[in-house]
Amino acid sequence: MDDLNRIGNQVREARKGQGLTQAALAAEAGISRTTLSLLESGTVQELGIRKVIRILDRLGLELTTRPEGAPPTLEEIREER
């Protein structure tokens, strides 16, 4: 699973968990509902980092980095199941 797919899945889960519609989250993040839908479905081709950060901020999520080639985290292993 690539990074945007993983982010999209987490965004969808957090959005639903908070009882937000795609339209409401998109409006609060300043993006179109279509763009949010594409992110959540894993079909978005490219999305600017500022847009991603606005979405994550609204949901109380954060973007993290790690060294390339590092083993997967326990959370990532659980997500793959």
| Per-residue model confidence as pLDDT tens for the chain (81 residues) | 588 888 999 999 999 999 999 999 999 999 999 999 999 999 998 899 999 999 999 999 999 888 988 998 887 788 777
Give the count of beta carbons closer than 10 Å to the beta carbon of residue 68: 5
Give the count of beta carbons closer than 10 Å to the beta carbon of residue 6: 14
Output the six-digit token pair for 42: 């894993």
Contact 25, 76 (CB under 8 A): no
Provide the whole-model pTM. 0.81
Cα gap 29→35, rounded to integer Å: 11
Q: What is the pLDDT of residue 81?
A: 72
